[in-house]
Amino acid sequence: MDTKPYLIALDLDGTLLKDDKTISAFNKDMIKKAKAAGHIVCIATGRPFRSSSIYYEELELTTPIVNFNGAYVHHPKDHSWGTYHTTLDLDVVKEIITVAEEHKLHNVLAEIIDDVYFHYHDEKLIDVFSMGHPDIKIGDLRKNLGEDVTSILIHAADEDVEKIRTYLSDVHAEVVDHRRWAAPWHVIEIIRAGMNKAIGLEKIASYYKIPTERIIAFGDEDNDLEMLKYAGHGVAMGNAIDKLKAVANKETLTNEEDGIAHYLQKVLSL
């Protein structure tokens, strides 16, 4: 067995989590064995901390975590580790909201770590975002936001999503990065330019002094691209988008078939 520790980075949705948002017994068992063998396991997700902490606790992790695709990185068990929070400038946010309103948008949400601000009242979305019991404020974001934000989500009609993204690329490319959520959501997620999971993972890797060739990262969507390129083992799930499979140097089974467990069992001889 390889005695040198690996750093294992897990994306949540579509990767570690089954479609019903649970962790399978086999995945949990292999992650436990990997930790017992001295490997370091962390989560790297687009989710906020409040809706990923249940999985962090379930896996009994004691490592830093990457949230908001790298815009927020901290150590839940060790506050001296440092907090890296990279925000969007409030003036830019207000400008984006004003333009987004010209397109028939359904809603705009702003998140500041674990506080959520809704531009309009929205039962369905409030339900989706209430996991982890954030403080929720509702009303014009231009009035309600008093500080720079971690991320903005624009929920628009399918046909308007690309128009808004084109505007973001044309006008704000220097300051924001945006991604489209996977179906069924017509949501554009906006964070500070240059932020991605690889940046967060790099901070964790340097803390544990793990070289890139001993990093194993699993993912399935376009927000995993940079992380899989960065890791020595960039592992695309069987259910991953083609674009990700193209940059990955490894592939495993789908999230429904315990892809993570099978890969770790084989590569780490667990």
The CA distance from 251 to 248, in Å, is: 7
From 2, 11, 19, 160, active-site residue: 11
> What pLDDT band is residue 125 in, cutting at 50, 70 and 90?
confident
Contact 260, 218 (CB under 8 A): yes
**DSSP result, 21-48:** S---HHHHHHHHHHHHTT-EEEEB-SS-
Does 1 score more than 60 pLDDT? no
Whether 11 is a known active-site residue: answer yes
Does 265 score more than 80 pLDDT? yes
Mean pLDDT of all residues in 134-160: 92
Mean pLDDT of all residues in 5-14: 97
Structure tokens given for 146: 């008093």
First to last CA, the chain: 9
The CA distance from 66 to 12, in Å, is: 11
For the sheet with 250-251, list strands across it. 40-43, 7-10, 215-219, 233-236, 250-251
Using one digit for the tens of pLDDT, what is the confidence trace for 97-110? 998 888 878 899 99
By CB atoms closer than 10 A (0-12, 13-18, 19+), residue 37 is middle
Rounded CA Rg of the chain: 19
- The structural domains of the chain, ordered by start, are 7-84+195-267 (3.40.50.1000), 90-192 (3.30.1240.10)
> What pLDDT band is residue 2 in, cutting at 50, 70 and 90?
low
The CA distance from 15 to 270, in Å, is: 20
Structure tokens given for 209: 């002094």
Q: Would you state the pLDDT for residue 100?
A: 84
Task: Report pTM.
Answer: 0.92
Contact 216, 86 (CB under 8 A): no
Percent of the chain with pLDDT over 70: 99
Backbone angles phi, psi at 65, to 5 degrees: -135, 140
Q: Which region among 94-103, 121-130, 184-193, 227-236 has the lowest average model confidence (pLDDT)?
A: 121-130
Mean pLDDT of all residues in 50-69: 97
Q: Would you state the pLDDT for residue 225?
A: 96
Q: How many other CB atoms are found less than 10 A from the CB of residue 213?
A: 9
